[in-house]
Structure 1
Amino acid sequence: MVHTRAQTKKMLHASISRFNDDLFTEILLRLPAPSIFRFKSVSKHWRLLLSRKHFIQRYDQISKSPTGLIATDIYVPFDVENPSTPPFRCLDSYFDRPGVEIVQSCNGLLLCVTRPKGPNGASKYYVFNPTTKQLALIPPIPGGPSAIWFMGLAFHQTDCVRYKVVCVLSVGPDVGSYQIQVYSSDTKEWQISIESFSASIYFIRRGVFWNGAVYWASFFDKIKYWYFKIDDQQLHTLPLPLGLIPSVAVTNYLGESRGHLHLIASKKFQGGMLCQRLKVYEMFVKYQLQLNAISKYGPRYALQVMDVVRGEEEEDTFLVLKTLDKIITYNLFCSDETKLTCILRTRVLSFIITQIRP
């Protein structure tokens, strides 16, 4: 029986519609982000499937973890026995000014800044894709220079074109009064999202993008967690994780890996000594670390948590820690004899830590 072109097209469309979405999803989850973006234009059904929150969350969980970090201007691979190739050797050749600083990494994009030499110049912010080597200059915030306290990217790898930049800057004569503005790569414009709110300077200096929002944690003052949701342009208070007692705890780290938001807290300093336990939270106590094994790398008071990296399997999860003169990884599931690995020995005490994700 010979089918007309219209009948064949209709049968093909029906076959695609009957295609097992679960199996199809499992295939797509294994593809790189650029392929996911291209497949969104195949059909409305594929676009809807690839835009669902459930798919995005699963893609985050199985996508590749960062292969290394940038410490100042040094690339440090996590696997020292099988080091990966750095995505770039030097950033200066891609910019119109020397001395490029990496402000933040977000799902494969880098937010960078170049500082002026003279007192009258202004900093320039850029979004850089280390894979394609594409560079985009972020226009200055309207109204002249302001005291910028936080500048961060909001980007997901399944949406390879669109990104946003969230800026927190001081406004008005009042100390501790801030404003949030958002830049969109679609409109190429800044827009005021929140006219004014009060917070500590230390509270807003560090932020991380996760699940459609930017999260901040207080590191020095009373423990509190806020998040700015990109879609509704509102600032919300995040409930404290179960088991975290604000009066006796201090925040050591807030970050994202494989679609998971991690918070590390420990007891406050007592008698000049750091508590021997670090607790990694994911709205509850996820991991608890004993720090006795780290003493051979230096005093615990000099310990700084740089990153939490989730593995494809949970037993491959590790922490990146900095001591006075070393950067080490700490596997959460190995024995004390094998869990610590020194990945860099250095006397440089000032670090810009950036995850590098393919």
Structure 2
Amino acid sequence: MVNTRGKIRKTQHTRKTLFSQTSITESDHQSTDSGALVGSNEELLTEILLRLPVTSVLRFKSVSKHWLSLLSHRHFTKLYDKNSNSPGLFVRGLYVPFDVENKRTPPIRKLDFVYDLKGLRIVQSCNGLLLCCSDLGHQRARKYYVFNPTTKQFAIIPSVPGGTDVRKTIRFMGLAYNKEDCVHYKVLCIRRAKSNGVWFQNGDQDLFQIQIYSSDTGKWKILNDSFSTDYYTSFYSGVYWNGAIHWAPSCLDPLYFKLDVEHLEKLPLPPPLPGRVASFEGYFNEDTPIYFGESRGHLHMVLTAHDESYLHLIVYEMSSDHSGWFIKYQVDLDELPDVYPEMIQCSYLDRSSRHYYEFEVLDVVRGENEENSTFMVVRIPGKIIRYNVFDKSFNQIYDLRKVFYGYIGNSEVHRYTEAITYF
């Protein structure tokens, strides 16, 4: 007797299997067609790739020659770098991410992209590139490098012409790089100059000379005009912004250097806060910035208000035409000592007396959505805090006690910005 039901079930199963295989084949065919469509449409492919994290972009260069060409092309790298992120800081060479909940792989584990007998340290960060130099030894023996921690590309900067006698007089080395305009960068050197064969110093004045290295020509250029300025003028740390290198106002005549016209200009001072006199002594002691830096195309300077509490901070922004400073934010850190009492270094029984609070502003980071994502990075004893400027929320992003103690200083803090452009 024939098992009709068994045949029927077997036939149904066979039809179902064939239908399923056909569906998978059609689906694979549609996926292949879609992939081919995207792959052949360079504009659509670019829009997709621009939304990927930098690690994926670098990894996808090995997919094919077409993708390598697309992802390395100046048009793509310029678009990508224009909207690139700053996910963290280098603090004494140690990477500290801004977001502890969504940690990314550190761009570098340590500063060892090239072997230097004296070790390496970061001098300056500029739009994704790092200016580094030999960590130990006298200025005349230091080597300088430009390094991209995202792509791992680096270049050795030729020594400043003139031999060791010239190199030992270097007062400043700074990097200028605008990733949206040009793949080439410049290094600015300021050094003490000679007058009639001797190192010039006239009372409270020193004579200086400027030399500029361009990665385009691979050569140093010595500017003909020297300049004199007060001996206490600080060139210790510089910030590149709006086509110029700026030095933090630490005297009554701060300066900035415009690279397009190769000329020094006077940097305006902010107006004195109520109750303070605009004198050199008062400015130097009370109004020296506790932070000076750039974020998302804005130059910032942070001062303490000194009115009711040293925890009241004024964040100034420079006008785009260099005409003057205006108050951008006012930030009160009053809640921090309640949560982190280690900030209070000295207290008194007399309530009218002020407390002394230990903290540093390491960075001011403007968010893409300013009100929701603009924050300060603040160091307190043993910790680094992220403090939201608008909603006043804060959280610890790094425990320094495992690494080092004490004062850090802005010269040891450098923002990491993702940049895939090759110089």
Match status 1:276 vs 2:307:
no
Distance 2:407 2:359 in 1: 13
Identity among equivalent pairs (%): 42
Q: Among residues 329, 334, 343, which one is paired with 2:391 in the alignment?
A: 334
Distance 1:342 1:294 in 2: 14
What TM-score results when the alignment is normalised by the length of structure 1? 0.76
Closer/same/farther in 2, CA of residues 89 and 201 from structure 1, 3 Å limit: farther
The question of whether the paired residues in 2 share the 8 Å contact of 1:37 and 1:160 is answered with no
Distance 2:230 2:72 in 1: 39
Matches within 5 A, 1:68-79: 68-79=88-99
Match status 1:38 vs 2:57:
no
Distance 1:307 1:37 in 2: 32
Q: Which amino acid aligns with 2:102?
A: N
Match status 1:293 vs 2:338:
no
Q: Among residues 279, 297, 300, which one is paired with 1:259 in the alignment?
A: 297
Residue 10 of structure 1 is matched in structure 2 by: none
Match status 1:305 vs 2:361:
yes
Matches within 5 A, 1:170-189: 170-171=192-193, 172-174=199-201, 176-189=206-219
Matches within 5 A, 1:67-146: 67-115=87-135, 122-144=141-163, 145-146=167-168
Matches within 5 A, 1:50-69: 63-69=83-89
Match status 1:344 vs 2:399:
yes
Instruction: Summarize deviations over 1:106-127 as a string: whole Å, max 9, x none.
Output: 011110001455x696000000
Q: Which amino acid aligns with 1:173?
A: F
Residue 227 of structure 1 is matched in structure 2 by: 256
Aligned residues between the structures? 311
Larger radius of gyration: 2
Match status 1:317 vs 2:374:
yes
Q: Among residues 244, 249, 254, which one is paired with 1:218 in the alignment?
A: 249
Q: Which amino acid aligns with 2:361?
A: V
Distance 2:232 2:209 in 1: 12
The question of whether the paired residues in 2 share the 8 Å contact of 1:109 and 1:127 is answered with yes
> More helix per residue: 1 or 2?
2
SS of equivalent residue, structure 2 residue 288: strand
Distance 2:254 2:85 in 1: 25
Gaps spanning 5+ residues in structure 2: where?
Answer: 1-46, 58-69, 194-198, 318-324, 345-355, 419-423
SS of equivalent residue, structure 1 residue 135: strand
Distance 2:140 2:98 in 1: 38
What TM-score results when the alignment is normalised by the length of structure 2? 0.65
Closer/same/farther in 2, CA of residues 125 and 285 from structure 1, 3 Å limit: same
Distance 1:170 1:348 in 2: 34
* 1:292 positional shift: 1.0
Match status 1:355 vs 2:415:
yes
* 1:160 positional shift: 5.5
* 1:148 positional shift: 1.8
Closer/same/farther in 2, CA of residues 251 and 120 from structure 1, 3 Å limit: closer
Closer/same/farther in 2, CA of residues 321 and 37 from structure 1, 3 Å limit: farther
